[in-house]
A = this chain, B = another copy of it.
Amino acid sequence: MASELARTPRSAAREGREKAIFEAARAVFAEFGFKGSTTAEIARRADIPKANLHYYFPTKEALYRAVTEDVLNTWLEAASSFDESTNPSEAIAAYIGAKMDMARLDPIGSRIWANEILRGAPVIGDFLETTLLDWLKSRETIVRRWIKTGKLVAIEPRYFFYMIWATTQHYADFEGQMVALNGGKPLSDAQFETAKVQVIATLLRGVLPSET
């Protein structure tokens, strides 16, 4: 099959080098944004000559697109954790938990996203208007159903999702601020777990009807 030929696995060495460039690019783009990043700096962190970088990724923009689209896929995976079939508490808790874990495990991805949005989302703009909007609409429907059946207080679902996105992403994007406020040390696993539990509890209390 032709498609199988196209997917012929490259040598492991090649994949390794590509990944090294990719990871270096992620770190640099996350810190300096697209314009502020240089292929020279990325190559330096990947420990290869700049010319070699351009052999694997012809342009800075191609590399940026590859990095950005990868972040997008990670986002989509986490999105599925908001499950319609479970009850509101469980669905919301699972979703917030998944997004918190994402921020903890891949803060760089979150920062790449943040930089892209700050620029006006020139690359992922289409995705926002199509896939993300569709996702949001379908989840809004679910939330509205929960509200109608008295399982949630009357809220505008959209702004509730914004709160979740804002809070979870904050733990990745503003890590620098948190470190400064934590005596120069990153949040420990225990601290992060406390934060995660509290974020879930506070947001659930904020939208669940009083138990009267």
Flag A195-211 by CB within 8 Å of B: 1 or 0 each: 10011011111110011
Flag if B36 contacts A199 (CB, 8 Å).
Answer: no
Interface stretch (choices A50-58, A63-71, A174-182): A174-182
Stretch from A12-20, A79-87, A114-122, A142-150 contacting the other chain: A114-122
Inter-chain CA distance A93–B39, complex, in Å, is 46
- How distant is the Cα of A9 from the Cα of B77 in the complex, in angstroms? 58
Residue A109 at the chain B interface, CB threshold 8 Å: no
Cβ of A31 within 8 Å of any chain B Cβ, yes or no, is yes
- Which of B33, B136, B153, B178 is A33 in contact with, Cβ under 8 Å? B33
Contacts A155-B198, A180-B133; is A120 near B31 (CB within 8 Å)? Answer: yes
With a 10 A CB-CB cut-off, give which of A153, A155, A162, A195 has the most chain B CB atoms.
A162
> Considering the chains assembled together, what is the distance between the CA atoms of A14 and B167 in angstroms?
42
The size class of the interface chain A forms with chain B is 35 or more
Task: Check A181–B121 contact: CB distance below 8 A.
Answer: no
Complex CA distance for A162 and B158, rounded to whole angstroms: 20
Of all chain B residues, the one with the shortest Cβ separation from A210 is B210
A129 within 8 A of B: yes
**Among candidates B34, B120, B159, B205, residue contacting A153 with C-beta atoms closer than 8 Å:** B205
Closest chain B CB from A116 CB (angstroms): 9
Chain B residues in 8 Å Cβ range of A34: 36
Q: In the complex, are the beta carbons of B132 and A202 less than 8 A apart?
A: no
Q: Does B170 contact A165, Cβ atoms closer than 8 Å?
A: yes
Complex contact A163–B199 (CB within 8 A): yes
Give the residues in chain B near A166, CB-CB below 8 Å: 166-167, 169-170, 174
- Specify which chain B residues have a CB less than 8 angstroms from the CB of A203 in the assembled complex: 202, 206
Q: In this assembly, does A194 line the interface, its C-beta being within 8 Å of a C-beta of chain B?
A: yes
Q: A111 in the interface, Cβ–Cβ < 8 Å? A: yes
Q: Could you list 16 A-B pairs, sorted by A, with CB under 8 Å?
A: A31-B120, A33-B115, A33-B118, A36-B36, A114-B173, A114-B174, A118-B173, A121-B176, A125-B180, A132-B177, A162-B174, A163-B167, A163-B170, A165-B170, A166-B174, A202-B206
